[in-house]
Structure 1
Amino acid sequence: MAQPLRYGINVSLDGCVHHEAGLPPDAETMAFWTDELRRSDTLLYGRVTYELMDGAWRRPVSGQWPGWMDASEVAFAEVMDPMRKVVASTTLDSANWNAELLSADLLDGVRRLKERPGRGISLGGVRLPVALAAAGLIDEYTFVVHPVIAGRGPRLLDGVELTLELVERREFRSGVTVQRYRPAHTPGISTSAR
């Protein structure tokens, strides 16, 4: 049985998903993301997201987490740092930080990755999920919606048509809403054509 590929991302009310969209995580949101990481044993990123995560959440050579991190961020980093990572990139020659490079055919590579034993694959980023969603390879979508209008930037799964079924909804004290979905049908096929 294939392990699930789960896409999770922070998103503004107007659908922006870039890291500068004014989506500051609080302790409750960070605890949620830490628990989400624990659901999987592999992280799948494109080059840009991998490099952002590496710069923010990799344990420094000193072994000490930087002073800007609060307890919730340290807890998140402690889970993420040792996890296995797969980086989908045709521009990198190598990847480290417990990572392997997926540079061959993206869709076949992800299908093979899903066939490996494991609890699941956590997918992050902006562009890579578009290709995987369009191919019908994502099994679950988790959108952490922040009460912010960003007004600019990349949009959530821009260009992909999907019909999703809501399977969970939670609200946090900050006004953040977690919405978890599963695909309701095959991407690119309308419900009426089924």
Structure 2
Amino acid sequence: MTQPLRYAINVTLDGCCSHETGLPPDAESMAFWTDELRRSDTLLYGRVTYELMEGAWRRPASREWPDWMDADEVAFAEVMDPMRKVVASTSLDAVDWNAERIEGDVVEAVERLKKEPGRGISLGGVTLPAALAAEGLIDEYTFVVHPVITGRGPRLLEGVRDQMKLELVERWQFRSGASVQRYRSA
């Protein structure tokens, strides 16, 4: 039995995945993302996403959350901060924030990670997920599709060359107009 590798990301109608595009987070979307974190015990990121998340969601040394965070963002950070993080990076010498760096072949490391006991692995980012999708390692895809066309930024699963068949598991819409679409590898 392997634990599931779940990829979840915000994406615009034209397939862009930049954290600067889409609708601004609101209470409903932050509650959704907090619940998504709770589905897993491990977070798997590449360097860029790890550094982005650490800069925004790591508890400061003062132990006090920054003033810019509202209650929904604090709830998200409270779940993310103590979680185990696994980072795929060849440019970082070391990581902290409850993190370990993958040594060697990423595909082999993720295959080993999936065999560990746990509730699941939450995968984020753009580049690493595309590489793992191309290898057939992602078990579930969750796309929060924002009703925005941005025309710029990294594209969802760019670089995947072979067709992947997915089965729709569930779909619903936020009050903002963004829709959640969850798929399982077919």
Question: For this structure pair, what is the TM-score category when the shorter chain's length is used for normalisation?
Answer: over 0.9
Q: CA deviation at 1:124?
A: 0.1
CA displacement, residues 76-127 of structure 1 (integer Å, 9 cap, x when unaligned): 0000000000000111111100000003100000000000000000000000
Identity of aligned residues (%): 78
**SS of aligned partner of 2:164:** coil
**What's the TM-score once normalised by structure 1's chain length?**
0.93
Greater mean alpha carbon deviation, residues 98-107 or residues 17-26: 17-26
2:164 paired residue number: 162
Q: CA RMSD in A?
A: 0.8
The partner residue of 2:176 within 174, 177, 185 is 174
Point out where structure 2 has 5 or more consecutive residues left out of the alignment.
none
Q: 2:11 touches 2:22 (CA, 8 Å); kept in 1?
A: no
Cα distance in 2 for partners of 1:80, 1:10 equals 17
- How far apart are 1:22 and its partner, in Å? 3.7
Gaps of 5+ in 1: 185-194
Verify the 8 A CA contact 1:6 1:140 in the aligned structure 2.
Answer: yes
Q: Which amino acid aligns with 1:159?
A: G
The answer (yes or no) to whether the contact 2:146–2:179 under 8 Å persists in 1 is: yes
Confirm whether residue 2 of structure 1 aligns to residue 15 of structure 2.
no
Q: Deviating runs (4+, > 4 A) in structure 1?
A: none
Alignment correspondent of 1:187: none
The Cα shift of 1:25 comes to 1.2
User: 2: CA distance between counterparts of 1:159 and 1:44?
Assistant: 19
Decide whether the 8 Å contact of 2:42 with 2:122 is kept in 1: yes
